[in-house]
Amino acid sequence: MASGVDRAIAAFVAGEPVMVFDSAFRERETDLLWPADAATPEVMRTLRKDCGGLLFLAIGNEIGELFGLPWLQDIHSHPALVKENPVLADLVTNDLQYDTRSAFTVSLNHRDTYTGITDRDRALTTRRFGELTGELLASGADGEAARAALGAEFRTPGHIPVCRESRQGLRTRQGHTELAVSIARLSGHSPCTIGAEMLQPDGDGALAVEDAREYARKRGIPMITGADILEALGIDE
């Protein structure tokens, strides 16, 4: 296993951040990532201030299956909903520049949040989701019990967008969602990762990979690529 991936795994084990550049052939973006259950207001503040992109919660497909969380693309193209809301037919997702499928599922707020948007509120939503999924996966809870536990603590819509890994993971989709949950799995965490895309200071493009590496170097954050993760897992690009 590459030493860079070893360092990234060690960082996640310790609840510390990792940076992942996907590929020069995909979104060409670097994400700053933490284990979801390590989220604090300070973590959310760093993601908000240093990244500039969307804060998102990446979850493994097994979590999506456990809770029965649908992909929004499937909801928005459902014939019954399109018939009831014709504008959905005009808004159909059929022209993604980087993929054929969107990873977004529902957005969440913890029920103990106020607006849900503050660093403290978003940290609570993120941390408790990560903790709850770990607890449910460890206990072997079934879908009905898992959905009840989720609903007892969370509501939708909310201020934490959730992205669900594709059913075959990195073998069929090598996006930031799949890369993020892979690091969590390799570190022994439940596959649940909070992150954000790093943008240029003016926000007009992704942060150049050289600038991302300099950010990582100054802060001692392990930075790896999608190819590094695929190699560590023995998956062909």
Which pair of structure tokens corresponds to residue 94?
Answer: 């059929």
Per-residue pLDDT of the chain (237 residues; tens, 9 = 90+): 457 899 999 999 999 999 999 876 666 889 999 999 999 999 999 999 999 999 999 999 999 999 999 999 999 999 999 999 999 999 998 888 777 778 999 999 999 999 999 999 999 999 999 999 999 999 999 999 999 999 999 999 999 999 999 988 788 888 889 999 999 999 999 999 999 999 998 888 999 999 999 999 999 999 999 889 998 888 876
CATH homologous superfamily of 3-71+101-233: DHBP synthase (3.90.870.10)
| Residue 175: predicted pLDDT | 84
| Residue 152: predicted pLDDT | 98
If phi > 0 it is left, if psi is from -120 to 50 it is alpha, else beta; for residue 69 that is beta
Angstrom distance (rounded) from CA 47 to CA 7: 20
Beta bridge partners of 194: 34, 57
DSSP 133-155: HHHHHHHT--HHHHHHHHHHHEE
| Residue 3: predicted pLDDT | 77
Closest to 223 in 3D by CA, of 8, 58, 34:
8
| Residue 167: predicted pLDDT | 87
| Residue 26: predicted pLDDT | 63
Q: What share of the chain is helix, strand, coil (3-state, %, to 5)?
A: 45, 20, 35
* Parallel/antiparallel/unpaired status of strands 52-59 and 192-198: antiparallel
